[in-house]
Structure 1
Amino acid sequence: MAVPTYDKFIEPVLCFLKHHPEGVAAKVVHEGAAELLGLDENQRSELVSSGQLIYKNRSGWAHDRLKRAGLLQSLSRGKWCLTDAGLEWIKNNPFPLSKEQIDHLAFDFIDVRLKTNPDAVKEIRDAIAIDLLENLLQVSYNRFEVIVLDVLHKLGHGGHRDDLQRVGGTGNAGIDGIISLDKLGLERVYVQAKRWQTTVGRPELQAFYGALAGQKAKRGIFITTSGYTAHAIDFAKSVEGLVLIDGKRLVNLMMDNEVGVSSQLIKLPKLDMDYFEQ
């Protein structure tokens, strides 16, 4: 006798997990579902073309459908568990399930997209943010200033890379870069970049703001790898045209605009049921 189709595994998977509300390893669920279905040794030894055991493959597809229905979740890699909604559903739908109930769970949620785990994404971003900040603290001051201008360019400041003019060096009156907002260079934003580990205080911002006034500039961006004191933030709020970017915001802007990092798209497969019904 052939191994039952995956929809026949819906009820045994639910039934087995009902008795393990704390979650259990997927391989244990596979065996529990096989026991509930009464699969013999021959059925448990059948393989799909990829070499996977058919009953584990079918149990896996049942798990996929139940996840899409919101009844199951993966607590961690290879550990399955009922969701709160799943526990409630079982309470309101006692076993044995009807064919209509099974078909509903097996086929009505196929097009539901599984969400990316937000905690996993945050964990990756946090780790990359730490690495970015460490690298920013290790590069030369000249390179740091160039990186800052690259970030501002990606944000749309300056229509062309050549519109970003690095000043730097001594005698720059507290200005490291100049961004032209128009082709004639009539409107400019001045930039100060500090690769510091200590917080930036009010005196540094006052000096930069004074340099802006000396250039008759209307806008300035102060960027640091560290942070700002409360007095510095209050000063920036009290004047016009002064924007502050701290280290946390800087590395997030780098990630969002792919400066010093690269993104990878993940292709998510979608089952084509029409293919199997031909």
Structure 2
Amino acid sequence: MTIPDYQSLMLPVLRFAAQGETKVPDIAELIADELGLTQTERDEILPSGRQRILHNRIHWAKFYMGKAGLIDSPSRGRFVASAEGRKLLAGNPQSIDVETLRAYPAFVQFYEASRAETSSDLPVSPSAQEASATPEEQIDAAQSVLHAALKADLLQRILAQSPTFFERAIVDLLVAMGYGGSHEDAARRIGKSGDGGIDGVIDEDRLGLDRIYVQAKRYAVHVGVGRPEVQAFVGSLVGNGASKGVFVTTSSFSAPAADFVRHLPQRVILIDGDRLADLMIEHGVGVRVARTVEVKRLDEDFFVEE
């Protein structure tokens, strides 16, 4: 089954917390067992890669119930159901969600304060559009949308440039990734059109102990690269006595092309438009930071008295 959203986890979290002091990792295992989650589901990570999804959702379920006074935190990292929380459980609720928490003045006060402090259109409060998503998941979802839009814009702008610009952009990317040493001597042109399938060659390291041959095809998205073109590139590698090559395109590679390079003695990497855009964004080529959002957490060590 899929991992329940944080509101659906509120009732089981409170039930287990009513059994005594506990921690998020411990209660996560108990809830996972109760729900019959697979190990893969238990280990599933947020897109940010910083926390397990189940742990994150339990944390926020605990956090919001804490703001309503249903959960107490007697010591670092530990929590337990409060008297108010036990009272709520005594009524055998079928579920606990944000609407349930609105019955508690402390939660309403917290909620109204959080609304007043944000001017963003992104949901940051438990009753916002994505009521089933935790704040981290909302940030990750927004980041994914922005990332996808940037990738599309990046490829569109590359397609509007000349083939020479595209080849230079590939050199910039490889240098940014650590290949070729200084930018001045990173790439050496090998001929022009009709150069046997090689657009350039770049040193694999600053000493030039090995070289990587590059082929760059600036194709429209609907024009894929097939096996014959990749085969011609490999033939050029053999003709130059090369063992490593990178074939880059703004479009995509056919399945036969991708299968062909898997069985070669040469090491040939195929980079399609989707991966190219990802790499350019990751290494800051053709893009720049427009806004940085810091997400801060409590420094628990600061509050430890010696």
TM-score normalized by structure 2?
0.55
1:115-145 deviations in whole A, cap 9, x for unaligned? Answer: 3621111111011011011111111100000
RMSD of equivalent CA atoms: 4.0
CA distance in 2, matches of 1:120, 1:62: 19
CA shift, 1:268, in A, is 4.2
Instruction: Tell me what 1:260 maps to.
Output: 286
- Equivalent residue, structure 1, for 2:39: none
| 1:242 and 2:272 aligned | no
Match of 1:60 in 2: 113
Given the alignment, which residue of 216, 233, 237 partners 1:193?
216
Aligned to 1:212: 237
Identify the structure with the greater helix proportion: 1
Write the distance in 2 (CA, Å) between the matches of 1:62 and 1:251: 36
Residue 212 of structure 1 deviates from its aligned partner by 1.0
Counterpart residue number, 1:75: 128
Counterpart selection for 2:156 from 130, 134, 156: 134
Note if contact 1:10-1:62 (Cα within 8 Å) is conserved in structure 2.
no
Structure 1 unaligned spans of 5+ = 1-8, 38-54, 65-71, 85-112
SS state at 2:216 partner: strand
8 Å Cα contact 2:179/2:206 also seen in 1: no
- 1:251 aligns to what SS in structure 2? helix
Identity %: 35
Report the Cα offset of residue 176 of structure 1.
Answer: 1.1
Cα distance change, pair 149–74 in 1 and its aligned pair in 2 (3 A): farther
In structure 2, the residue corresponding to 1:75 is in which secondary structure?
coil
Secondary structure, in 3 states, of the residue corresponding to 1:161? coil
Q: Aligned-pair distance for 1:246?
A: 0.3
Cα distance, 1:150–1:271 mapped onto 2, change above 3 Å:
same
Deviation at 1:234, TM superposition (A): 1.2
Secondary structure, aligned partner of 2:180: coil
Q: Which amino acid aligns with 2:277?
A: V
Quote how far apart the aligned CAs of 1:11 are.
Answer: 5.5
3-state DSSP of counterpart to 2:230: helix
Letter in 1 for 2:187: Q
Relative to structure 1, the CA distance from residue 164 to residue 23 in structure 2 (aligned partners, 3 Å threshold; closer, same or farther) is: same
Letter aligned with residue 144 of structure 1:
F
Tell me which amino acid in the other structure corresponds to 2:227: R
What is the Cα deviation at residue 171 of structure 1?
3.9
The structure 1 residue matched to 2:204, chosen from 169, 173, 181, is: 181
Task: After superposition, give the CA deviation of every residue in 1:242-278 in whole Å (9 maximum; x if it has no partner).
Answer: 1100000000001111111112322346789x9xxxx
Question: What is the letter of the counterpart of residue 173 of structure 1?
Answer: G
What SS is found at the alignment partner of 2:167?
A: helix
Q: In the aligned structure 2, how far is the partner of 1:176 from the partner of 1:163?
A: 15
Match of 1:170 in 2: 193
Asked if 1 retains the 8 angstrom alpha-carbon contact of 2:215 and 2:246, the reply is yes
Q: Which runs of 4+ in 1 moved over 6 A?
A: 21-24, 55-58, 269-272
* CA distance in 2 between partners of 1:139 and 1:23 (Å): 51
Q: 1:176-198: CA deviations, max 9, x gaps?
A: 12111244535210000000121
8 Å contact from structure 1 (residues 10, 63) kept in 2: no
Q: State the aligned residue count.
A: 202
Report the AA paired with residue 249 of structure 1: R
- Structure 1 residue 59 displacement after superposition: 3.6
Paired amino acid for 1:172: D
Residue type of the partner of 2:151?
A
CA drift of 1:159 comes to 2.0
The whole-number CA distance in structure 2 between the counterparts of 1:235 and 1:170 is 24
Match of 2:80 in 1: none
Conserved 8 A contact 1:145-1:166: no
Residues 245 and 269 of structure 2 are in contact (CA less than 8 Å); yes or no, is this contact kept in structure 1? yes
Q: Deviations over 1:190-231 (max 9, x none)?
A: 000000121101110111111111111111000000111111
Judging changes above 3 Å, is the alpha-carbon distance between structure 1 residues 22 and 180 closer, same or farther for their aligned structure 2 residues?
A: same
